[in-house]
Amino acid sequence: MKLTKAGSGPEKPADAVPADPVPATAADPAGRPSTEPPEGPAVVRISGLSKSFDGRLVLDDIDLEIRAGEIVSLLGSSGGGKSTLLRCVNLLERPDRATIELAGEPVFSGDRAVYRDLAELRQRVGMVFQRFHLFPHLTAIENVVLAQMKAAKVSEDQALETAVQLLRRVGVDHRALAFPEQMSGGEQQRVAIARALALRPAVLLFDEPTSALDPESTREVLRVIRGLAEYGMTMAIVTHEVPFAREISDRIAFLDGGRIIEQGTPEEVLDDPQEARTQAFLASYEGSGR
């Protein structure tokens, strides 16, 4: 499937992936990410990934590549294996069989992890969960600081500074000293995004980031993700927000029955779906723009 996308818009520079994905402000005034397909190197390259739970095949020979600066949305009905696929990227789930490369380095081959330091590897792959999973015993800012200090061995002052910047960037710096249970879902999810960004990951994985949120919080979180897109962050997003996926994605992959049955630009997949399953799925989403 080709990644050509019609349309104009500002050219995204080839080095669209920032060396430092943690600027004080997201300054790009452009309304949406570049419509040019990113030409950067593959940040994630998965081939032949299979995974089964208790003998039931949930992912069947998946190939997926995410290039630097690219935003890929994974759509599909529940139980289609989207979340499992995402969780295989940072090996929270262990594939039965796959070849996985991250930033050109092999991390999984055949049926076992080949990267020596799994913890270090995971720092390069940020993950945002449906249910936030903030650390409830720590304040928002400590949530952002913890892994910086304990995993990335950043100094306390540096970690705090990064945390303050990131909390400001996602618009929850006024809640920095609040505990998760004192925050709204939208605030918690934005703290979780800041927490993931703090490790300067090469790619950010979103596992249904707005599924547990009310409409207001959903808007807040989507605004933050949009801001990251403008900045050129590489992202893979499992979502049910079809309009959002259309707006933000460079590419949409549609999963069904453990296979990517269709992928391409949002226009190709959402406006002119070739597969019956995709058509049926989209028909069930009102306002998806079909």
Residues that bind another protein (CB under 8 A): 90, 92, 119-123, 125-127, 129, 131, 133-139, 141-142, 145-147, 150-152, 156-157, 160-161, 163-164, 168, 173, 176-177, 179, 192, 195-196, 199
Tokens 């520079």, residue? Answer: 13
User: Which two structure tokens, joined as six digits, stand for 104?
Assistant: 């050109």
Distance, in Å, from the CA atom of 26 to the CA atom of 173, rounded to the nearest integer, reads 15
Question: Nearest distance from residue 266's CB to another protein, in Å?
Answer: 27
Question: Nearest distance from residue 127's CB to another protein, in Å?
Answer: 4
User: Which two structure tokens, joined as six digits, stand for 175?
Assistant: 């809640």
DSSP state of 269: I
DSSP state of 92: S
Question: Nearest distance from residue 40's CB to another protein, in Å?
Answer: 23
Closer CB to another protein, residue 107 or residue 176? Answer: 176
Closer CB to another protein, residue 125 or residue 269? Answer: 125
Are 255 and 83 in contact, with CB atoms under 8 Å apart?
A: no
Question: Nearest distance from residue 38's CB to another protein, in Å?
Answer: 24
Rounded to the nearest angstrom, the gap between the alpha carbon of residue 176 and the centroid of all alpha carbons in its chain is: 24
Question: Nearest distance from residue 137's CB to another protein, in Å?
Answer: 5
| Residue whose C-alpha is closest to residue 163's, from 175, 150, 173, 152 | 173
Give the CA-trace dihedral at 33, 38, 43, 44, to 10 degrees.
90
Distance, in Å, from the CA atom of 93 to the CA atom of 7, rounded to the nearest integer, reads 38
Closer CB to another protein, residue 62 or residue 192? Answer: 192
User: Which two structure tokens, joined as six digits, stand for 241?
Assistant: 């927000």
Closer CB to another protein, residue 72 or residue 91? Answer: 91
Question: Nearest distance from residue 229's CB to another protein, in Å?
Answer: 21
User: Which two structure tokens, joined as six digits, stand for 290?
Assistant: 């079909």
Are 103 and 124 in contact, with CB atoms under 8 Å apart?
A: yes
| Residue whose C-alpha is closest to residue 263's, from 85, 65, 125, 119 | 65
Closer CB to another protein, residue 17 or residue 145? Answer: 145
Question: Nearest distance from residue 82's CB to another protein, in Å?
Answer: 17
Rounded to the nearest angstrom, the gap between the alpha carbon of residue 289 and the centroid of all alpha carbons in its chain is: 23
| Residue whose C-alpha is closest to residue 44's, from 237, 209, 225, 226 | 237
Closer CB to another protein, residue 148 or residue 249? Answer: 148
Closer CB to another protein, residue 128 or residue 260? Answer: 128
